[in-house]
Copies of this chain bind each other. A is one copy, B any other.
Amino acid sequence: MTDVQAPRSAPKSEQTRTLILETALRLFQERGYDKTTMRAIAKEAGVSVGNAYYYFDSKASLITGFYDRMSHEHATVTGERLQGAEDFGERLEIAVMAWVDCAKPYHEFAAQFFSTAADPDSPLSPFSDESYPARAEVIQIFRDVLEGSQVGPKLDSELAELLPDLLWLYLMGVVLYWVFDHTEDTERTRAFVRKCAPLVARAVRLSRFRLVRPLVRDAVELMQEFVIPKVRSGVTK
């Protein structure tokens, strides 16, 4: 099921599918999402427009592969960089900054594409059932971030269980910031991430104190009831 380059064993149809997908992603990156037409994709891939629609529901759903690729690379890069870092804030910064780095080549393309992804009914919404695998993989990254630090075991168990999902939401906030960021090399987003990480870490550590703990518990409960179901299994639930 891995779709890198069509293996020799793959049937013809799978080859065509892959060819169309690769061509599309290449053109998206070269010309941007809007300027890449379905006709151009078909022509470049040497097939008909109708054929592209035989394999993919829509132009937007050609992005599915992009999601998977992106979360894979994010997980890999983060895994490498986390080696040796033990401070929670530091680890968090590494994970989020890794995303910014991985997403760099796609910034222009992603900004154009963002509005499509924001459609609640689109399979490409970050909350959709279809994007669940990619979402789960990124949440796992944050689980690693937490478990590899000293702060993890000291937390309230319910919060510790919830935190990876919350950090994924935090990443979505960063993504939103990044999409609107037009500075060179998205330097402003990077500065934002560098400043945010230690603050988040401090907030998490504060959550253990007797003064704030009751509030945190209630907030955790609220999240578990109202927000997490949407993150865990898509908006339809």
Interface residues of A in 186-236 (CB under 8 A from B): 188, 191-192, 195-196, 199, 202-203, 206, 209, 211-212, 215, 218-219, 222, 225-226, 230, 235
Q: Is A120 interfacial (CB 8 A cutoff)?
A: yes
Q: Is A5 interfacial (CB 8 A cutoff)?
A: no
Q: How far is the CB of A36 from chain B (nearest CB, A)?
A: 17
Report whether A180 and B230 are in contact in the complex, using a CB–CB cutoff of 8 Å. yes
Q: Is A111 interfacial (CB 8 A cutoff)?
A: yes
Report the nearest B residue to A125, measured CB to CB.
B180
Report whether A180 and B226 are in contact in the complex, using a CB–CB cutoff of 8 Å. no
Report whether B119 and A115 are in contact in the complex, using a CB–CB cutoff of 8 Å. yes
What's the Cα separation between A224 and B230 when bound, in Å?
Answer: 31
Q: Is A122 interfacial (CB 8 A cutoff)?
A: yes
Chain B positions within 8 Å of A235 at CB level: 180, 182
Q: Is A18 interfacial (CB 8 A cutoff)?
A: no
What's the Cα separation between A120 and B179 when bound, in Å?
Answer: 7
Q: Is A114 interfacial (CB 8 A cutoff)?
A: yes
Q: Is A15 interfacial (CB 8 A cutoff)?
A: no
What's the Cα separation between A185 and B182 when bound, in Å?
Answer: 39
Chain B positions within 8 Å of A209 at CB level: 211
Known interface pairs A206-B212, A212-B211; A226-B188 also in contact (CB < 8 Å)? yes
What's the Cα separation between A211 and B114 when bound, in Å?
Answer: 40
Q: How far is the CB of A85 from chain B (nearest CB, A)?
A: 22
What's the Cα separation between A179 and B120 when bound, in Å?
Answer: 7
Report whether B199 and A206 are in contact in the complex, using a CB–CB cutoff of 8 Å. no
Q: How far is the CB of A106 from chain B (nearest CB, A)?
A: 14
Report the nearest B residue to A172, measured CB to CB.
B176
A-B contacts, 10 listed (Cβ < 8 Å): A111-B120, A177-B226, A180-B230, A188-B226, A192-B222, A195-B226, A196-B222, A203-B215, A203-B219, A206-B215
